[in-house]
Amino acid sequence: MRIKIAFTLLILLFIGNVQGQGKYIVKAEMAYASENFSEATKLCAQAYAKLGRKGATKGIAKKRKADMAYKTADSYRQMEHYKEANEWLDKSIILDYQEVNPEVYLQNGNMLQMMADYEKAIKNYDLFLDLVPGDERGLFGKKSCEMYKEYAANKTRHKIVNQTAINKKQFDMAPMHGDRKKSKLYFSSAREGSTGNDKDPRSGEAYMDLWVSDYDKKHNWTEPYLVKGEGINTVDNEGTVCFDTRYKKMFFTRCPNVKKNNLGCDIWVSDAKGKTEWKEPTKLVLKTHDSISVGHPCTADGKFLIFASDMPGGMGGRDLWYSTYDKKADTWSKPINMGSGINTKGNELFPTFGLNGDLIYASDGLAGLGGLDIYRAANVGENKWENPTNLGSPINGINNDYALVEETTKYGYFTSERKSNNGEYVPDIYSYELPPNLFDLKVNINELGDKYKKIEDVKVVVTVSTGEKWEGYSD
């Protein structure tokens, strides 16, 4: 009788334990599926700790534990906490998660590359390619590690400066000029003073708003302030803004977050209201389901729009798409993928136009220095671009670099997640500048046939490739 009672108690204890584990798993899965990554890191790690790896389930418990480890890692990766992501990827590999999803090796290679551990990264890329031969993500990742020394040895002369007058300790990203004189710089930020008090469960930071800074007479950026306009900034995330060439229309991204709802981002448009304010925005209809994300708008005329999206029909990750506006029907055309000349199996994000019409964007699907790198695709016709070229170091680094906007052919701004002044790796706005080549030019004027007989007061005109001229007289 005692044996039966003890056995019954053991069964009840086992059932209760499984049910308890089930609750943790359900909560973790919901947070992860809703892309609430800040919450998912805790819940998935908690579920991992509750789960055993042995038992009567013949491997199911082990697979669940490995799955929770991977989702903890992926949540940290989405939040750009690469060290923690790497540690949890290692745990999932120990539990043989690569048998379920070979991409665990790919992601671990990516994390190690961004931590500058190239030898270990290459080993993980090779392990991934053993399981998925020929996958371009693994091939490009391995090539990036092998090329890093070459990139470092062939740095451009650009000077990179953290814009401390604009940046705060929170996220600051995606700068964009907001007027023809380029005296206003719009960007998105999660700094104190943003609308709403809640934290974004995806990033763990405050929700982002659109901010703007003015260029003063001393050529310094003033203290940023919230973009003015009814309905522009809300309790949701607002960011990645662009304008038409007249600066009469403003397009921006808004990402809602509603508990237990998987809602993707949308692009909104607002018309100018005077010189400093914007009218109530309206949402562009570009997608077929609420769970799809569209964002990172890029336009010149306000009628041809490039944007990033994870909509079906892409090449992998988030791709760049385009749509055109029909004024008579007041509708946007069905989005068209920009194709394999631009998109990859990775992510393509943050498109902008160069001053010469080139397409500038970020990608993690091509050979680069690590994470998102900035590329420039040459304009070869109306709405056609090809041959994306990595901008190299020091504009690109081992961490994410993106959202570059040109002010002149030699000066502009971009976002980078390199180590900031406060010692943290968070998105900040940086400027880049290509300084002039400085050299001495000595011109000797002498009589024909006698190089030793110098002639003074001869006018000398030097014309450079840009058309600029310098004039002087021989002494």
Q: So what's the pLDDT on residue 420? A: 65
Q: So what's the pLDDT on residue 23? A: 79
CA–CA gap between residue 183 and residue 214 (Å, rounded): 6
Q: So what's the pLDDT on residue 24? A: 79
Instruction: List beta partners, residue 161.
Output: 431
Contact 307, 324 (CB under 8 A): no
Q: So what's the pLDDT on residue 475? A: 85
CA–CA gap between residue 207 and residue 234 (Å, rounded): 9
What phi and psi, each to the nearest 5 degrees, are found at residue 55?
A: 140, -170
Contact 429, 417 (CB under 8 A): no
pLDDT (tens digit, 0 to 9) for every residue of the chain, 475 residues total? 444 444 444 333 433 444 455 777 888 898 898 888 889 999 999 999 988 766 545 578 889 999 999 999 999 998 888 899 999 999 999 999 999 999 999 999 999 998 889 999 999 999 999 999 999 999 999 999 998 888 888 999 999 999 999 999 889 999 999 999 999 999 999 999 888 778 777 777 788 999 999 998 888 999 999 999 999 999 999 999 999 999 999 999 999 876 656 688 999 999 999 888 999 999 999 999 999 999 999 999 999 999 999 999 999 899 999 999 999 999 999 999 999 999 999 999 999 999 999 999 999 999 999 999 999 999 999 999 999 999 999 999 999 999 999 999 999 999 999 876 656 678 999 999 999 888 888 888 999 989 899 999 999 999 988 888 989 998 8
What the block records as the tokens of 339 is: 């194709």
Q: Give the predicted TM-score (pTM) of the model.
A: 0.84
